[in-house]
Amino acid sequence: MNRYAVGCILSWMFILMSAFPAGAATIEIAAGVWHQSPNGSVAYTYNVLDVMGEQARDIVDDLLPFDGSFLERLSAGAPDLYHRDFSSTSAGRALSDLFTRTDKLDFTDDCSFEPAWRFSGRFRILVSPFMNFSFSATPLEFEGTGNLEDEFYFLDILFDPAMDFHSRLKLTHYDVAWFADLSPITIDHDMSLHTEIGLNVRIVDFHAGISQPDTGLSASTSSTVPLPMLYMAMQLADGDAMALEFEARGTRYSDDYVYDLTGRFRYHVTGPLHLSAGFRHLYVDLDIVDIDAEGTFSGPFVETVLIF
C-alpha cells in the first residue's frame, strides 16, 4: 500500500508539474517532522456466542429460546425491563445485544504507545482560481508492550492475563485534494486574507495487531480505507514575508468520523526558502472489521518549505 500510494502521488505531481509551463503555476513543496502524541483506544466488539465452543453454545440454546418466544416470556416476566430496553427490537437483535461484549485497550495505559517524531511531506500546485491541487503523506504508526491482569479478546483470539503482549496500530494516510482559491480580501497595505475550499480524498493504510510471545498467540487485520472529506483553509499573509495559515479537513462517512485541524506560521527566509512551525490535531474514529480505533493524535511540527 505504501509504495502504491506514494507512486500514485509522485506520478500525479510529475504530470501536473509537466502540464504547465514555468511561471504559469505556483508550486509549494514542504517536508518536516510532526510530534505525534496518541490519546485514545482500540476496541474489539464481539458476540460471546461466536467465540464459544459448540458444547457451550448448545447449553445456551437449551437455556434461551432463540425465537420470538424469548421476548414474549420477557414481557410477561419482567415488563419494566422489556418496555425500557427491548420493546422496539426483534428477538434476534435482543439476544445479540445480550451477548455482545467490547474489550477496549487504552493507547497509553494498556498498549504503552509513546509520543514520537515522524516525517511528513506535502505538495501544492496553484494554477488558477478553480484549478489547484494538493498532496500529502503522513506516516502514523505506534507499537508498544503491555500487560493486563484480565484476559481479553482480539479478533476472536483470547489472550491470556498477566502476560506481556505486543500491540501495533497503523493509521498512515495520504491526502489528495482539489480546491478553489477564492479572491483575496485586502486588509491593510500588504496584508491580505486568502480562502480555499474544496474536496479531499484521504486513503488510510490501516493495521491493528496483537501478539503474545509467551503463548504464541497473535491476531491482526489490515485494510485500505478511502475517506471523502471536505477541505477548507485560510491564510493571513503579510505580502511574501510571513503568513498565518489554518487548514481543516473533516468527514462523517458511514461509521467513520475524522477531522483534522492544522495551524501554521510561515516565515520567508530567502529566495524560495521558507520555514514554518505549527500545531496539528487529528481526531479519528474508524470502525473496521469489528475493530474500533478512536482517539486523537496531536502535537507541534516544523517544516522546511520551498515556494516557486
Write the pLDDT tens digit of every residue in 75-91.
676 676 556 555 566 55
pLDDT score recorded for residue 190? 84
Distances (CA, A) of 283 to 36, 133, 296, 297: 12, 24, 4, 7
**How many domains in the chain?**
1
pLDDT score recorded for residue 14? 57
Return d(Cα 159, Cα 110) in angstroms, integer. 13
pLDDT at residue 240 is higher than 70: yes
- pLDDT band for position 24 (cuts 50, 70, 90): low
DSSP-based three-state secondary structure for 67? coil
> Is 50 inside a domain boundary?
no
DSSP-based three-state secondary structure for 82? helix
pLDDT-above-90 percentage for the chain: 68
> Is 51 inside a domain boundary?
no
> Is 60 inside a domain boundary?
no
Structural domain of residue 9, as residue ranges? Answer: 2-45+103-307
Per-residue pLDDT of 217-237, as tens digits, reads 999 999 999 999 999 999 999
Of 54 and 46, which is predicted with more confidence? 46
pLDDT score recorded for residue 134? 95
Per-residue pLDDT of 177-210, as tens digits, reads 999 999 999 988 889 999 999 999 999 999 999 9
CATH value at residue 153? 2.40.128
